[in-house]
Structures are given as structure tokens and as C-alpha cells.
Structure 1
Amino acid sequence: MQRLSRGARRGTSRAVTPAATPPEIFDRTRRRLRRDRAAPGFAGFDFIRAWMLDGIAERLDAVRREFRDVLDLGSFDGAFVPPPGANLTRIDAGARFAAVSGGVQADEDRPHSPEGAYDLVVSAGVLDSVNDLPGALALIRRSLRPDGLFMGAFLGGSTLATLRSVMLEAEGDRPAARVHPQVDVRAAGDLLVRAGFALPVADVETLEVRYASLFDLVRDLRGMGATSLLRDPAPLTRSAVARAAQAFATRADGEGRTSERFDAIFVTGWAPDPSQPKPARRGSASASLADALRPKP
């Protein structure tokens, strides 16, 4: 496995408004079991979450304030390092991850924290696989004190574009859903607003990883607990797997490696507070746009 690049861009795809009562897209029991299976060897497959935590740390470094009570929502092995002196609570949907990180087991989209319990909530690598993402964000917002900060990261955008493509090719005229539905960056920003966050920001960074085979990619996904959690999955035949592996190989570069894409959606939002800056009143500008754009003599 070899990493190629890390970049950032703004998303341009159309936002999708989630249903008022979200369907159970993911199997909750399988999600917990997959996380338990991944826990013992997760240190060997943690590169996606480590990348997300690095991005969150960079953004957090720019915030000049102290945090007393912090929640690590989706703790995995407890790699998130809180600000100095903060009281830290960890929550994970998997029993083993919760145990190894010294946390408690709970689903992110079900009530898990008292109202106003934290002034910082961090979540890296889990919100893309919760059934009710709007509900999870609303719960995070509820758990924050006024002017509390939420920083999150999850996979979305065009993540696993190569895997999606080769599976569609392998299954021909009757393809089944094999890759999780993805949230784009614009939809992520809209969801922050709907959940009641102030000053919402959403951006995306892209990581490309080169693999020698489809099976190496699947090994990584299994190791990080990121294989499909879709409910009632259609059976996958051996012949379809073989065709997918061949299609993956045909996309290889001159060194025999095929690139796979991971898009991390980074989101930031604040619990509303009167002390926060407000947008300028429309029409209150003291200079016109035409004057600003007029060439200087």
C-alpha cells in the first residue's frame, strides 16, 4: 500500500435533504460486531482515522480558548488527545473500542449525553455509518453548552469511487448496493444548519491510496471496521468477486497499483450564544461593490 496525495477542494454536488423519519439504512447489530472484530488489530489499519484526527487537531489549534469538558464521540482505540487539563468522556458503538478507550458504549444517533454537558465535542470516522445523521448532529448540538464547539470528520463525497465502479462493472445489468451512500460537503453544511449550529463550516480533503489488488483494499476496510453495513445485503457470488478483482487490476498504473479515493468531510459548528459575531445587516456596507471593483487611477 502506498499513499499518493492529500489535497483539499470545495464540494460542488447538489445537497440532498434527508427524510424527516430516516430509514434504518445500516444494520446496528452488525455495526457493533464489526467494530468489535476490528478492535484488536486496529492499530495496523488506523491511517484514515489518524488522518482525520490530524485535520481536526490543525483546526483546533486555531481556536484560542480553553475547553474544560470534552466528548470523544466514536472513540475507536482512544487515539484522540484532548486539550491539556480537560475532562474527557469517550463513547463508542462497539463494546471493545469503548472498553479499550476507557469509555462507554452507545450509538451516536441515540441519546447518549446530558444536555449542556460539554464545551467541545470531537467525532472522527463514525458519522458516515449512523442511520440518523441529522439526529446525531442534533444530539451533539444538545450536549454542548452555549458557545460550545463541535469538530467532526467522516468519509463522504467520492469515497471508494474505484470500488463502486468495479462492483457495478462486475455485477452487470443487476448491480446491488455495495458501498455506503455518501454525504457531500454541501449537504454536510446544510445539516449543521438544520441541527442548530452557528457559524457552520464544512470542507473536504482527499487522500488517494494505491493498492496492489482489490483484496488489499478489502483487507484495509475490514481492519478499520469500514466494510458494508447495509441492511439485507444481496449475496455476492464468487464469479462477481473474480470479475471485480479483474476490473480493479485493469485500472492499475505502470507499477501494478490501483488508486482508491477517500474523501474526509470536515465539519465545524458552534452552539449558539449571544457573544458570537453576527452577519452584517443587509445594506449596511459603507462602500459599493462597483466602487470596489473600479480600476484605480
Structure 2
Amino acid sequence: MNYIFNREAYRMQRNIKVANEIHSCSFLLDFCVDDIVCRLSQINQQFSNILDLGARNGILTSKLKKLYNKSNIVALEIAENLINQIHDNDVMKVIADDANIPFLSESFDLVASLLNMHWLNDFPIFLKQVLQVLTDNGAFIGCLLGENTLSVLRKKLIEAESIFAATTYSAYFSIYKS
């Protein structure tokens, strides 16, 4: 099978570049984390075993821990440099590829994925694996880039620009406004 994404190159990129620069672009991650947490807070269910797929530096993991403070949380991340930035001893850290979820069936009642799914080569296989590790009454929540993403991203970049006072981005984005 021909794959679009080289997962080893993806892992290396996350280890080298993202680990050093994740805080410089966290406004988009923060927006998505807040959206996921808001949606989860509206669900009238307590989750006892939670899997954060593609956990990065724990940006979503920490919010899940606050929302479900008595839960067992597993942070799975392909990049060692990122997952090593999670310093919460109550979180189990697993270095593995989220394209090959390494857990037994019905291990989790909540699986979350934050802006990782668009890097997968085989989305249906990924969803099958997620369903396999979920309990019967489990839930999957994820955030990925989709329709209208660019307009939302443009608004977020403009907000970030005002925070960081970066004038170089405004010239670029004003040229390409629709």
C-alpha cells in the first residue's frame, strides 16, 4: 500500500521542531482544547479510563485531568521529546504511533484526539482501532481540520497577531483574504 505520510518522518519532525516551538503556535491548540473540554463538560457521564491520542506536551491531557480528576489518563504520543514534557506523575505516558493503537479491547471509556487525525494514512483503520479500545458505552471526541477551517484559522491568526504584535503576518494574510 502506498502511504501519503511517512510516519517516521512525522515522528522526527515532532521531536525536533514541534518540541521547541509548540508554545509559539499554541493559540490554535488552545482553541481546540477549549472546544473539546466545553463539549465534554456537557456530557453527563464520568469517564474512568481516558486515552489522549497524540498527546503532544500534555496540553489536552492536563485539561482532561482537571475535568476528570479521579480518572486514569493515558497520554500516547509518537515523539519522545513532546511526551517527556508531561510532568504529571498521575498520567501514564506511552510512546507509540497513534496510527497503531497498542491497547487491549475495551480499555477506555473516553478516547480524545487533538489535531492529529489529518496526518493518518488510513483513517478507517484508525477509527476501527478507536472503536476496538472503547468500552461499550465509551465516547470518542476529536478535533481535526475540516470545512471552514481556513476562515476560522485566519480569525485566530489575526487574534494572535494582536497579542504578539507581529506585523509581518498581517501583510501576508491581507493579500490572500477572500
Aligned-pair identity (%): 24
Paired with 1:139 and 1:123, the residues of 2 have a C-alpha distance of: 13
Alpha-carbon distance between aligned partners in 2 of 1:59 and 1:116, rounded to the nearest angstrom? 23
Per the alignment, residue 207 of structure 1 pairs with 153
C-alpha RMSD over aligned residues? 2.5
Q: Residue type matched to 2:30 in 1?
A: A
Matched, 1:131 2:121: yes
Alignment check: 8 A CA contact 1:115 1:142 kept? yes
Q: Note the alpha carbon deviations across 1:34-91, whole angstroms, 9 max, x for none.
A: 1112113312221111111111111101101111100011101102222121100000
Displacement over 4 Å in runs of 4+: 158-161
Deviations 1:184-231 (A, max 9, x none): xxxxxxxxxxxxxxxxxxxxxx33224744xx59xxxxxxxxxxxxxx
Letter in 2 for 1:25: I
Alpha-carbon distance in structure 1 between the residues aligned to 2:145 and 2:107: 27
1:69 partner letter: N
The equivalent of 1:60 in structure 2 is 40
**Is 1:44 aligned with 2:24?**
yes
Runs of at least 5 residues in structure 2 that lack an aligned partner in the other structure:
87-91, 162-166
Query: Which residue number corresponds to residue 252 of structure 1?
Result: 174
Question: RCO higher in 1 or 2 (8 Å CA, sep ≥ 6)?
Answer: 1
Q: 2:73 aligns with which of 77, 83, 88?
A: 88
TM (norm. structure 1) is 0.48
Tell me which amino acid in the other structure corresponds to 1:43. Answer: H
Q: Which has the higher strand share?
A: 1
Larger radius of gyration: 1
Tell me the alpha carbon deviations over residues 168-195 of structure 1, each in whole angstroms, 9 at most, x when there is no partner. Answer: xxxxxxxxxxxxxxxxxxxxxxxxxxxx
Q: 1:97, 1:134 → 2: CA distance?
A: 26
State the Cα distance separating 1:160 from its structure 2 match: 5.2
Q: How does 1:100-119 map to 2 (within 5 A)?
A: 100-101=85-86, 103-119=93-109
More helix by share: 2
Deviations 1:242-284 (A, max 9, x none): xxxxxx84x626xxxx659xxxxxxxxxxxxxxxxxxxxxxxx
Aligned length: 158
- The amino acid that maps onto 1:207 is L
Contact kept? 1:67, 1:86, Cα under 8 Å: yes
